[in-house]
Amino acid sequence: MLGRCRYYRRLPEPLRREFELQVQTFVADKTVTGVELEVDEELKLLVAASAATVSVGWEGFTWDQLTEVLVYPQAFDGDD
């Protein structure tokens, strides 16, 4: 699945491996909860890949402060 991600395909090989490890760790350690939607493995991977996109190459960064990600079926604005 990661091969479908243009960002991943453009990473140099060492960063690809780091990206893969971060995705694996995120999926194993974090809870992804759907709010009025079903969370499948693909959605979990997309959430993990989104996190890794932000953190890959950021030496020493971990997602330790995060335990759960809530996924909503549509965009929302807290001002509504």
pLDDT digits (tens, 9 = 90+) for 15-52: 999 999 999 999 999 999 999 999 999 999 999 999 99
Half-sphere exposure (Cβ direction) of 71: Cα atoms closer than 13 Å: 17
Q: Which residue has the tokens 């890959």?
A: 56
- Is the alpha carbon torsion for 53, 75, 39, 34 positive or negative? positive
By CB neighbour count within 10 A (0-12 exposed, 13-18 middle, 19+ buried), where does 56 fall? buried
CA-based nearest residue to 49, from 79, 80, 78, 25: 25
* Global confidence as pTM: 0.84
